[in-house]
Amino acid sequence: MKYDETDQAKRYDAARSMSREAQRRSLEPLRALLPTPIRLVVDLGCGTGRFSAALAEEFAAPVIGVDPAQTMLAKARENVEHPRIRFTAGESSAIPLPDGAADLVFVSMAYHHFDDRPAAAHEMRRVLGPGGIAAIRNSTADALDGFGFLEYFPAARALAQAALPRRDQLTASMRAAGFEPLLHQVIAHEMAPTWAAYCDKIAARALSFLAMIPDGDFEAGLSAMRRETVRVGPILEPIDLFAFRAPG
């Protein structure tokens, strides 16, 4: 999806907001893997800066948020004011940093948007210093049944099935770039405290797979979701967290 040709940046925060505690659950497993002190964190595919401040605080490190979409970067700069964080335009296949500049590259819910995943893996390897960590937090095709909303949007499910990585594919791509797999966890992420609140998040249509389906399909699926009376909260979704170590 070409985000600069849409209004997704305005919608994104409504559908993808996270508590600091939820962010901490994704970052805590990485702490023991990282060197101290951390020279630089790259928030690759930073979007609206959802994780940028949490990364800066959790790891007491400078953070550079990198995203190809100017609309996302503008929203990130609006959302995040922090002395250790800056945002810049860049592609996953051409990260605007010198070799070996970072100790952590963190990717949250952006990996499936990378046009050339092998090239992105090699770029992550290039910008990491010896022993640096690449961490990828992303939905996977293996876990689609855990996303309750998709049963109401079959066209979106088909898009997700085609676009999301399989766990073995992601790991193989990182191995091919020279990374050593260190960690894989599936974290139950609370999307909403109730089904009604979940429907409200889905209604924002900020998720890329929902933005790409016909309007009629979206409205029909949302209406079916809102008629559901059996579901109880909280509504959890499975998010995969991977960590890989660069050689050296």
SS3 track for the chain = CCHHHCCHHHHHHHHHCCCHHHHHHHHHHHHCCCCCCCCCEEEECCCCCCCHHHHHHHHCCCEEEEECCHHHHHHHHHHCCCCCEEEEECECCECCCCCCCEEEEEEECCHHHCCCHHHHHHHHHHHEEEEEEEEEEECCHHHHHHCHHHHHCHHHHHHHHHHCCCHHHHHHHHHHCCCEEEEEEEEEEEEECCHHHHHHHHHCCCCHHHHCCCHHHHHHHHHHHHHCCCCCCCEEEEEEEEEEECCC
pLDDT score, position 4:
43
Residue 78 has pLDDT above 60, yes or no: yes
Percent of the chain with pLDDT over 90: 85
- 206 domain-assigned: no
Q: Model confidence over 140-156: pLDDT tens digits?
A: 999 999 999 999 999 99
- 212 domain-assigned: no
pLDDT score, position 12:
56
How would residue 80 be classed by pLDDT, with cut points 50, 70 and 90?
very high
- 219 domain-assigned: no
Q: Model confidence over 55-74: pLDDT tens digits?
A: 999 999 999 999 999 999 99
Residue 5 has pLDDT above 50, yes or no: no
Residue 180 has pLDDT above 60, yes or no: yes
Among 107, 77, 74, 76, residue whose Cα is nearest residue 93: 107
CATH code, 98? 3.40.50.150
pLDDT score, position 7:
53
- 34 domain-assigned: yes
- 47 domain-assigned: yes
pLDDT score, position 1:
52
- 223 domain-assigned: no
Residue 238 has pLDDT above 70, yes or no: yes
Residue predicted with more confidence, 73 or 231: 73
How would residue 19 be classed by pLDDT, with cut points 50, 70 and 90?
confident
Tell me how many domains the chain contains. 1
Residue 94 has pLDDT above 90, yes or no: yes
- Domain containing 90 equals 3-141+163-189+237-245
Whether omega for the bond prior to residue 234 falls within 30 degrees of 0, making it cis, is yes
- 224 domain-assigned: no
Residue 99 has pLDDT above 60, yes or no: yes
**Mean pLDDT, residues 186-206:** 93
- 63 domain-assigned: yes
How would residue 83 be classed by pLDDT, with cut points 50, 70 and 90?
very high
Q: Torsion angle, CA of 25/27/31/35, rounded to 10 degrees? A: 180
